[in-house]
Homo-oligomer: A and B are copies of this chain.
Amino acid sequence: MTARPNELTAVEAARRIEVGELTVEALVRACLERIDEREPDIAAWAHLDREQVLAAAIAHDGAGPMHGVPVGVKDIVDTVDAPTTYGSPIYRDHWPETDAVCVNRIHAAGGTVLGKTVTTEFAARYPGPTRNPHDVRHSPGGSSSGSAAAVADCMVPLGIGTQTAGSVIRPAAFCGVYGYKATYGLLSFSGIRHYAESVDTLGCMARSVEDLAFFRDVLLGVTPVPLEPFPGRPRLGLCRTHHWDEADEATRTCLEDGARRLAAAGMEVEDVDLPAGMEDSLEVYNRIQQFEGARCLGPDFDAHPDLLSVDARALRELGMAVDAASYRDAVRRHYEWRAATDEAFAGYDAVLTPSAAGEATRGLRFTGDIAFNYLWTALHLPAVTIPAFEGPQGLPIGLQLVAPRHADDRVLSVAARVAQHLA
């Protein structure tokens, strides 16, 4: 049976449009049909104007490296053609005057913004209505909930996400798709609502590693080139981190089994430790997230305190209580840890680690534990999650690969190889 257009990867759909086997209109129609069918259960979209999108698809000339391929854009990203609510009732009717840089890059590459995907409030903790396509009783993860669910459910091949703790990797893992968080600063954050500026990072979701690499090039504003196959035998580190005991048994077993299978497939795998002195890394990270997060919330907190969630108000209170010296100390420790981890991981082509502490959390209130995510975000490392395993509840469990800062190409190439064996 041939795949329906909405089930194609972005790279394959773009290729078919380029050679005339598929039209932008047919692709967008297939995505919209899938959304019509599934959205009542999944609630992945914050805004989607079917007529506008279809008219644009019909008018699209199929040019550009994206050839009209549609993207779901997380609703903390500014868009001129759609309202941008940041997941907050304060911004229910907010229409930005300027596209975020990443949206401009999608347009410039000939991509189609299909609509805005659900985000938690201000990309923080308070969840939206999105459900996990694998089991609607479970959370899709967050904060990039809608993008992960929409990509997983074949509503759209590509989704934009952002990560301050684990907001790309964890929802991608929970929903069983591929996710990529860039090296901090590599992809422009301009025009995106900030949560905690020193760690806010752009990323994306897709249904293949090739798509992640392709979309990364688009977002970076360079001409996409096919992902180079990793040359030779990848040398992998296995990093359990000091949070290992917080992963559930299935996750720990999956990761260790996965490492064994990769070793059996000829890759070198050995244990690698984090640099010494990082035992309190979660507390240090929290200081930064809270200090910066509370200040970013300031304008909304002062103008509309009654329209903030309990979670946002709690963040505000925690962050205003962090003093300058303790914030500064946390930032300095992050500087040191970044350099030390780049060095500790330099001998590996990628480092394996859990994507999340377990399967998707039951219920929609909690988008999941950040234990296996915040650290790589704080360290500014590129990270990829692969839908490698299935857990005891029948939900996806991811395998995460990280690498030193700006080794994004390498970690994507290794991820493609690893996916051949595990996904």
Contact = CB atoms under 8 A, between A and B. Distances in A.
A174 B106 CA distance: 42
B188 A221 contact: no
A330 B189 CA distance: 19
Interface string A344-355: 000000000000
A241 interface: no
A325 to B, nearest CB: 9
Given A188-B197, A302-B108, A222 B101 contact: no
Contact of A222 (B220, B323, B339): B323
A256 interface: no
Contact of A320 (B99, B221, B406): B221
A103 B416 CA distance: 46
Contacts of A101: 295-296, 298-299
A299 B220 contact: no
Interface string A268-294: 000000000000000000000000101
A320 B108 CA distance: 12
Copies of this chain assembled into the complex: 2
A194 interface: yes
Contacts of A99: 299
Contact of A324 (B94, B97, B108, B222): B222
A87 to B, nearest CB: 15
Interface residues of A, number: 45
A393 B418 CA distance: 67
Nearest to A338: B335
A108 B188 contact: no
A98 interface: yes
A331 B191 CA distance: 22
Given A324-B220, A406-B332, A295 B97 contact: no
Contact of A335 (B105, B299, B302, B405): B405
Q: Label chain A's interface by main secondary structure.
A: helix
Contacts of A103: 299
Contacts of A309: none
Nearest to A319: B221
Contact of A298 (B108, B189, B300, B324): B108
A197 B191 contact: no
Contacts of A80: 303
Interface of A: 80, 91, 94, 97-101, 103-105, 107-108, 185-186, 188-191, 194, 197-198, 217, 220-222, 292, 294-296, 298-300, 302-303, 320, 323-324, 328, 331-332, 335, 339, 405-406
Given A190-B296, A332-B406, 14 more contacts: A99-B299, A100-B299, A101-B295, A104-B302, A186-B328, A188-B197, A188-B292, A189-B197, A190-B197, A221-B295, A221-B320, A222-B324, A328-B406, A331-B406
